Structure 1
Amino acid sequence: MIQLFALHIDPILTDKQLTHLLSFVDRAKREKIVRYHRRIDAKRSLLADLLIRMQIAKRFEVDPRELQFAYNQYGKPYLQGHPQVHFNLSHAGEWVVGMLGCEEIGVDVECIKELDHRITDVVFSEAEMALYQELPENRRQHYFYKIWTAKESYVKAVGKGLSISPQSITVCMEEHQSYIVGKKKQIRHYTWVPDYVLCACVERVELPTDIIYVEENAIYGYYEVL
């Protein structure tokens, strides 16, 4: 079973909360978090780690402090010593999303911003570009973000990141389903909050239809008693 979580974050994080919560992540992660210049960036990164630790710990009945994350050669995180556990994280703006399951998975969330149309030259395949150019101006931005999140979730699922050229992937979006042309992967876009686009990718198992919303206070409460 695959679970998809979403956490809305508040920009406020006290020094006391930060110090306490940092004790639950590994040293490398702590050092990365404290180097952020903006408090909100530090909080996003910290809560993403804590969210997936909490969900793994609850599902598999383990101590979140004992979970050790590592990274493959392309930068995809994985859980050391637990090859049956797969997860992925993404965060943008005021949201953190995470997926947890039993096979390789990928998820991407993007905050919709004003689009520099030159970026399409390095993102779209020929087929995607042809369709993009046929669209009216008011539909192009949303189309771009749906294509981009689909590609991001796919490369994160296969675990090869930026080593795969976005132009080498073609996303086909039909009325009732979307898929990566020539690849044995499922992708799904979720109707979500305004100004954000969310997409998930797996291979064999069924993608969840619902998003599990996690309250920020639930994370504080969970780690407060450990």
Structure 2
Amino acid sequence: MKIPKNIESHLLKQLSNLVSNEKKERMKRLLNSCDINRTLIGDLLIRSLICQKYKINNEEIRFRYNEYGKPFVEKFSDFHFNVSHSGEWVVCATANFNVGIDIEKVSEIEAFKLAHEFFSADEFYDISNMNSDEQINYFYDLWTLKESYIKTIGKGLYIPLNSFSIKKESRTLISYKNIPKNFYFKQYNIDPNYKLSVCATRDEFPQEIIIKDIYTICQNIYKFESKEKINAED
């Protein structure tokens, strides 16, 4: 979902009432209003999908976290999800198996230096043989692919980025080292200025991504709210 440039304050307040108190506290600790909006919409995006899939009231949704901080939905152990946001975009992936997603806005960076610091020797070698523009583009390809894998296994940055290698052979062919065989990758073109990668434990990716808007998300949530709850908010 692309975040609206201007979300009216009264709408933000109304949307905030749809998330947990724990999430509200986390949002209060964020200093940047854009980060607050991205965090809020990411939570609502997942809630709308859960409400739609299981036909339940939003208030019934309970998120729990594993020892590494990855969230899961209480009572629905077969619902796996992951959220990522960057710049104007908030994205999520859902499945009945482990899945991870990462989006990054492409910006001018010292790709050569960062690759040397964070990537494996094989990945650094590949980047070192590219020109500066190619380095930046490929860096974000690898970064989002690697992040999507780490998020799939649910251990976050407890897994060093340089402990495994990924190589993008072509637009669709991705190879890797030091990653179990039952992991698969796919990239999507969502925006010319962004890189979007998904990883999963099954090779079952949709061909296209679905773009939603804030109003559709809210409709999916409110559809299963009680009339008393809606009237109280009005």
TM over 0.5: yes
Match of 1:207 in 2: 205
1:208 Cα deviation (Å)?
1.5
TM-score by length of 2: 0.88
Match of 2:143 in 1: 148
Instruction: Find the residue that maps to 1:212 and give its secondary structure.
Output: coil
Residue range with higher mean Cα deviation, 148-157 or 108-117: 108-117
Give the count of matched residue pairs: 220
Amino acid at match of 2:45: L
Deviations along 1:126-168, one digit per CA (max 9) or x if unpaired, are: 1111111111222110100000000000000000111101001
Q: Which has the larger radius of gyration?
A: 2
Match of 2:174 in 1: 178
**Structure-2 change in CA distance of 1:60 and 1:223 (3 Å):** closer
1:17 Cα deviation (Å)?
1.4
> Is residue 2:126 matched to residue 1:131?
yes
> Is residue 2:118 matched to residue 1:120?
no
Higher-RCO chain (CA-CA 8 Å, sequence separation at least 6): 1
Match of 1:47 in 2: 41
Q: What are the within-5 Å matches in structure 2 for residues 180-195 of structure 1?
A: 180-181=176-177, 182-184=179-181, 185-195=183-193
Match of 2:94 in 1: 100
Q: Distance in 1 between matches of 2:175 and 2:77?
A: 26
Q: Distance in 2 between matches of 1:220 and 1:114?
A: 35
1:223 Cα deviation (Å)?
4.4
> Is residue 2:163 matched to residue 1:160?
no
Deviations along 1:40-91, one digit per CA (max 9) or x if unpaired, are: 2111110100001101110122222211112111111111121111000000
Aligned identity (percent) is: 32
Deviations along 1:74-115, one digit per CA (max 9) or x if unpaired, are: 111111121111000000000000011101100000001111
Alignment partner of 2:50 out of 51, 56, 79: 56
TM-score by length of 1: 0.91
- Name the Cα RMSD after superposition: 1.5
Q: What are the within-5 Å matches in structure 2 for residues 5-84 of structure 1?
A: 7-84=1-78
Deviations along 1:153-212, one digit per CA (max 9) or x if unpaired, are: 000000011110100110021223213324221011112211100000001241111100
Residue range with higher mean Cα deviation, 157-166 or 64-73: 64-73
Amino acid at match of 1:17: L
The answer to whether the Cα contact below 8 Å between 1:179 and 1:187 also exists between their aligned partners in 2 is no
1:31 Cα deviation (Å)?
1.1
